Amino acid sequence: EVVLTQSPGTLSLSPGERATLSCRASQSVTSNYLAWYKQKPGQAPRLLIFGASSRATGIPDRFSGSGSGTDFTLTISRLEPEDFAVYYCQQYGTSPTFGQGTKVEIK
């Protein structure tokens, strides 16, 4: 099983600031098959990024994904009020696994 470790656990930022979220895999992720999701309280997760860097349909360009191998990053260039949520990474190079999540909260 590929274990994904996300850091930090919580990120306290103000609207307009830049957010950088990390996802580290216990082994290399096949073909950079890594996705990112956003989840707000009481809602289902929403796909943001797939293939490490491709934005899903309708996702604003302030969201970007990068990385390869075992280290991946989700960057939100300028935080909007609706971006404060929990973010999960997921790998699909083998049986899917998720990271434990990073909460982005208002400072």
Partner 1 sequence: QVQLQESGPGLVKPSQTQSLTCTVSGGSFSSGGFYWSWVRQHPGKGLEWIGYIHYSGKTYYNPSLKSRATILVDMSKNQFSLKLSSVTAADTAVYYCARVYTSGWHGFFDYWGQGILVTVSS
Residues 83, 71: Cα–Cα separation, whole Å: 23
When the beta carbons of 33 and 73 are compared against partner 1, the nearer one is 33
From the CB of residue 60, how many other CB atoms can be counted at a distance below 10 Å? Answer: 13
State the nearest-atom distance from the C-beta of 25 to partner 1, in Å.
14
Which uninterrupted H or E stretch holds 16?
none
When the beta carbons of 45 and 67 are compared against partner 1, the nearer one is 45
State the nearest-atom distance from the C-beta of 90 to partner 1, in Å.
7
When the beta carbons of 64 and 98 are compared against partner 1, the nearer one is 98
Query: Locate tokens 């049986």: which residue?
Result: 95
How many residues are given for the chain? 107
Residues 102, 104: Cα–Cα separation, whole Å: 6
- Which residues of the chain form contacts with partner 1 (CB under 8 A)? 31, 33, 35, 37, 43-47, 50, 56, 88, 90, 92-101
State the nearest-atom distance from the C-beta of 27 to partner 1, in Å.
15
